[in-house]
């Protein structure tokens, strides 16, 4: 306090104000640096968002292009496979198939008719006059 009492009050006041002004200036400078850093961060984020949107748009366009090519390829393959089938009449194809099957059955019938009739007649006329051993045992046991 002895030293302070020798320094004029105005000088102390100026020195304190000067220190306060320096601190305020330093504080202002730091605030400006923070604001500048915030602005740069916002710009970085904004650019990142724009780049992300741009890349998403490019990926979507590429996917749509690939899908379009795939659809065209599949449509061409489908038309190729179905082109002949579309012009053919399914009822006519069934009719032709049925006729060929009926013709095959009639051919088999005609080819085997005489043999079949002869076989059936021979079996009808074949009568066994004798008794088998089993039939004889059944008669002797009085089962029949």
Residue 126: predicted pLDDT: 81
* DSSP assignment letter at 128: -
Q: Specify whether the CB–CB gap between 12 and 4 falls below 8 A.
A: yes
**Size (the chain), residues:** 144
Q: Is the pLDDT of residue 30 over 80?
A: yes
Instruction: State CA 37 to chain mean position distance.
Output: 48
Tell me the pLDDT band of 122, cut-offs 50, 70 and 90. Answer: confident
H helix or E strand, kind and range, residue 52: helix 9-87
Residue 102: predicted pLDDT: 94
**Side-chain-side CA neighbours of residue 34 (13 Å):** 6
Residue 2: predicted pLDDT: 47
Q: What is the pTM of this model?
A: 0.39
Q: Specify whether the CB–CB gap between 131 and 139 falls below 8 A.
A: yes
The pair of structure tokens assigned to 33 is: 């640096």
Q: Is the pLDDT of residue 97 over 90?
A: no
Over the stretch 32-63, which tens digit does the pLDDT of each residue have? Answer: 999 999 999 999 999 999 999 999 999 999 99
């Amino acid at each position: 306090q002895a030293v302070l009492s020798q320094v004029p009050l105005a000088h102390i006041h100026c020195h304190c104000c000067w220190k306060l002004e320096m601190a305020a200036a330093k504080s202002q400078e730091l605030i400006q640096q923070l604001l500048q850093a915030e602005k740069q961060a916002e710009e970085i984020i904004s650019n990142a968002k724009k780049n992300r949107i741009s890349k998403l748009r490019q990926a979507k366009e590429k996917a749509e292009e690939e899908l379009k090519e795939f659809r065209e390829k599949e449509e061409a393959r489908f038309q190729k496979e179905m082109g002949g089938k579309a012009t053919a009449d399914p009822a006519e194809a069934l009719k032709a198939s049925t006729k060929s099957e009926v013709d095959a059955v009639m051919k088999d019938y005609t080819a085997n008719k005489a043999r079949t009739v002869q076989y059936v007649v021979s079996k009808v006329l074949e009568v066994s006059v004798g008794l088998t051993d089993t039939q004889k045992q059944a008669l002797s046991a009085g089962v029949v």
